[in-house]
Amino acid sequence: MIQFVVEILLFFVIFFGIAFILNMLLRKTWLMSYIYPIVVIMIVDDMSTTRYFNDPAESFSSMINKFVNLGIADIVILGSGLVGTIVSGFVIKFLRKSGYQMF
């Protein structure tokens, strides 16, 4: 149970931080929220990304099968990363509205 809570916090903080830094450098508020599904696909499946281009039918069916077989704990942990990217976008918008200039 403690590991579960730590993993939720870890994913939230890691993706909040990555999204915050990308938002500051690229000035695209929701960029990481759009990229996050690709990151999740790379985390969940264990195949090479080039395989999606070489054999798309088998690759996508395998990916969908792995997503269907995810446990509740995995979904909650990956969801906390998405929440981290979304919260980062709101924080950046709030800071910019408050007058802070980031890079």
Q: Is the distance from CB of 14 to CB of 79 less than 8 angstroms?
A: no
Entry field: residues in the chain: 103
pLDDT at 21: 92
| Encoded tokens for 91 | 């924080």
Residue 49 near residue 42, CB atoms below 8 Å: yes
Q: CA Rg, the chain, in Å?
A: 16
Top-confidence residue, 38 or 102: 38
CB 37 within 8 A of CB 59: no
Which range has the worst mean pLDDT, 22-26, 66-70, 71-75, 83-87? 22-26
pTM of the model: 0.86
Tens-digit pLDDT profile for residues 31-64: 899 999 999 998 998 888 889 899 999 999 999 9
And the tokens for 58? 């088998």
> At a CB cut-off of 8 Å and minimum separation 6, what does 22 contact?
28, 31, 32
pLDDT in the model for residue 68: 93
